[in-house]
Chain A
Amino acid sequence: MLEIRNLHARIVDDGTEIIRGLNLTVKAGEVAAIMGPNGSGKSTLSYILAGREDYEVTEGDILYNGQSILEMDPAERATSGIFLAFQYPMEIPGVATMEFLKVAMNEQRKARGEEPLKIPEFLKRVKEAAASLSMDMAMLKRPLNVGFSGGEKKRAEILQMKLLEPKLCVLDETDSGLDIDALKIVSDGVNALRAPDRAFLVITHYQRLLEHIVPDSVHVLYRGQVIKSGDKSLALDLEANGYAGVIGEAA
C-alpha cells in the first residue's frame, strides 16, 4: 500500500536535510510502528506523507497504491485516503467543529463522486463516533480544537479518522498527553478501524502505546533512516535497553 524509496527531504526555509535515504514498505492491513529518539525525523516523515509545504523532497519517491504522491497537494492526498492524526492539532478559532466535519466529509465524498451526506445521516454518524470515543457532543459545538485539552484534541483527531474512513492512517505520537484511560479509549478507537484494506503507520516514542495497538512490524528511525526493522519484540527490546544498542549496531 505504501512504499517509500530512498527518500531524502529537507526543510525548505533553511535547507536542513532531515530525511536521509529512508526506505519503508507497509502492506494493506498492516500496522507498522515507527519508533526513534527525538530529532530522528519521525514527525517530519508524517508531515511529508501528508504533503506539508515546509518540506521539500530532493530524492527518492513515495508510492501509495503504486502511484507517486509527491505532486499531490494535501487535500488531494487526503481525498485519496491518506490521513494524518496530528501530534499537535491546530486550534482554529471561528471554525465550528461540526461545520468543519461536515465540510471535510462532503469534500471527500465530492472528490470520490459521491453525493453529500444528508444532515440527519451526518449527525447520526458523528453522534455514534463521538459516543464510541466517550466524547461529549457539546465539545463539538465549540470552534475546532479551541479550548480542548490535550487529550480532547487527540480524541477529536481519532473522531475525524473514524468519520473520514481513510485507507492509510498516520498517527503522529497520538499517545502523547494522554492519561491511561484516554489512551485506552483512543487505542480501542484505532483497533476498531483495523481492516484488511487499511494500513496504519503508528509513530511513537514509547512502547506503552504498542501494548494497546499491537503492531505487525516495528521500524527504528534514526537520523532520517530506518536503521532496524523487526516484529513487536523489537519494541520491547527498545523499551528495556534504550536506543543506544540499536544505534550502535547500525553505526
Chain B
Amino acid sequence: MNMHTQPQRTSAETALIDAFGDRLSLLPGDGAVMLKRDDAIEAIKHGLPTRRIESWHYTDLRRLLNAVPDFDPAAMTKAVAPIVEGSAVLAVLNGKSDAKTPAVEGVTVQRLSEKLTDGSAAPGLDPYGSDDAIGALNTAFVADGYFVDIADGAELEKPIELQNLQAGGQTHVRLMVRVGAGAKAVIVERQAGEGAALVSSVSQLVLGEGAEVTWLIVQEQPETATHLAQFKAHIGKNAKLTLFVMNAGGRLVRQEVMVRTTGEGADFKLRGINLLAGDTHTDVTMVLDHAVPHTASTEVIRNVVTGKARGVFQGRINVHQYAQKTNAKMACNTLLLSDDGEFSTKPELEIFADDVVCGHGATVTEIDHDHLFYLMARGVDEKTARGLLVKAFVAEVIEELDDETIVDALEAKLDDWFVTHG
C-alpha cells in the first residue's frame, strides 16, 4: 500500500476550499465551465505552490498567503478617472462588470458573466502547465469581467481602459480581448482598490495578423492587498505587442506574463517598472515562447527597491526547435536604495533552435555618485537630486513608449509614487 502524506492545509488553503463550497451556487458558467472550476479547485486542494516548485522558488505562495478574506458582496467602489483623458472606461467594481458600456466604433463589449454561460469561454480557462496556481484560483472563482472584440482594421483613436477596482474581500476577474487583423489599439489595465483584498485577475489577449497593440498594466493596490495576476497573449503573424507593466503597490504581488509568438514576423516588447516600498513582496514572472521562425522580442525591467521590500523577476525565453532567426534580448536593472531591501533576478534561456540571437543581462546598482555630484553642483539639494536620479532610472523605460500622452500619463503615476514614497 502506498503511503501518501498530505501536509496539513494552511488556513488560507482551507479558507479558499470552504469559500468555493459557499460560492459555487452563485458562480456563472455552462457545464464545460463548471467542469473547469472543479478541476481548478482540485488543484488548489493539492496545496498552494511552495519554494520547492521551481517557478515559485522566490515566491513561496503557501507561506506568503497567510490570510484569505471573506467575499464582501456589499462592498462599494467607484470607477476612477482614466490615466489618458478621453479613454473609453470599462470598469469592474468589486468583481462586477457594468451592464452599460461606452460605445466605441469597431469595438464590441460583452460582460464576462454572460460569456461564461454561452459555451465559448471554457477553453480559455485551461491551466497553464502544472504549477498554475493563479490560473487555478481564477478559474475556480471568476465570476465576471469583460470580453472585448476589436474588429479587423479598426484603429482606435483613444485608449480603452479596463479598470479592476476592489473594495476589500475577494475579487476574481478575467479580461479577454481579441484584436482583429490590422487593428490598432492602446489598452490600459488599471489594478487598484481600497481594501485588504485578495485579487486574482487574468487578462487574455489574442492579436490577429498585423495587429498593433500597446497594453499598459498599472498596478497600484494598497499595501494591504494581495494581487495575483496573469497576462496571457498570442501574437499572430506580423503583429506587434508592447506590454508595459508598472507595479507601484500591493503587499503580495505576482504578475505573470505568458506570451507566445504564433506567426512569423511577430514582435514582442516587455517594459516593466517595479517601484517597491515598505514590507512588501512583488514578483514579475515571464514565460515567452518563440514558437515560430523570424520573431523578435526585447524585455527591459527596471526596479527601485526601498524599505524592506523584496522583488523578483523571472524571465524565461523558450526558443522552439523550428523557431530559427529568433532575436531575443532581456535586461533587468535594479536600483537598491536600502540595506534591508532585496531583489532576485532569474533569467532563463532555453533554446532548441541553432540559428538565433539571444542574450540577457542583470545589474544591481546604487545611485551614481558622479551624477549626484553633477546635479548638486548646480544647486539641487541632495534629497531632490536623488529623487531626480531615481525617477530618471525608471523614466528612461517610459520614454521609450513614443506616444506623448501615454508617457505623460505614466510619468504622472511615477510622480504620485515618489510623492508618497520619495
Contacts and interface: CB of A to CB of B under 8 A. Distances in A.
Interface of A: 50-53, 73-75, 77-79, 83-84, 86, 89-90, 92-95, 100, 103-104, 107-108, 111, 143, 160, 164
Contact of A53 (B369, B371, B381, B396): B369
A95 B389 contact: yes
Contact of A78 (B369, B376, B388, B399): B376
Interface in B5-53: none
B388 A100 contact: yes
B392 A93 contact: yes
A74 B396 contact: no
A84 B369 CA distance: 17
A107 B380 contact: yes
Contacts of B385: 75
A75 B380 contact: yes
A93 B335 CA distance: 14
Contacts of B100: none
A111 B384 CA distance: 13
Contacts of A103: 380, 384, 388
A95 B373 CA distance: 14
Given A78-B377, A95-B375, A104-B375, 16 more contacts: A73-B376, A74-B373, A75-B385, A78-B379, A86-B374, A86-B377, A90-B370, A92-B374, A93-B396, A94-B394, A95-B389, A95-B392, A103-B380, A104-B378, A107-B379, A108-B379
Contacts of B393: 94
A53 B380 contact: no
Contacts of B394: 94
Nearest to B393: A94
Contact of A104 (B371, B380, B389, B392): B380
A7 B393 CA distance: 38
30 contacts: A52-B373, A53-B373, A73-B382, A74-B373, A74-B377, A75-B377, A75-B380, A75-B381, A78-B376, A78-B377, A78-B379, A79-B379, A83-B377, A86-B377, A90-B371, A92-B374, A92-B389, A92-B392, A93-B392, A93-B396, A94-B392, A94-B399, A95-B375, A95-B388, A95-B389, A100-B378, A107-B384, A108-B379, A164-B378, A164-B379
Contacts of B399: 94
B37 to A, nearest CB: 46
- List 4 tightest A-B contacts by C-beta distance, closest first: A94-B392, A78-B379, A74-B376, A94-B396
B395 interface: yes
Contacts of A160: 378
B389 A51 contact: no
Contacts of B375: 92, 95, 100, 104
B391 A94 contact: yes
Contacts of A75: 376-377, 379-382, 385
Contacts of B389: 92, 95
Interface size class of B (residues with CB under 8 A): 20 to 34
Nearest to A92: B371
Interface in B177-236: none
Interface string B383-405: 01100110111111001000000
Given A53-B369, A92-B389, A95-B389, A111 B379 contact: yes
Nearest to A78: B379
Interface centre among A51, A86, A92 (most CB of B within 10 A): A92
Contacts of B384: 103, 107
B30 to A, nearest CB: 50
A90 B376 CA distance: 12
A94 B395 contact: yes
B116 to A, nearest CB: 44
B275 to A, nearest CB: 14
A2 to B, nearest CB: 16
Contacts of A92: 371, 374-375, 389, 392
A104 B374 contact: no
Contacts of B374: 86, 89-90, 92
B205 to A, nearest CB: 29
B375 to A, nearest CB: 7
Given A73-B382, A94-B396, A107-B384, A84 B391 contact: no
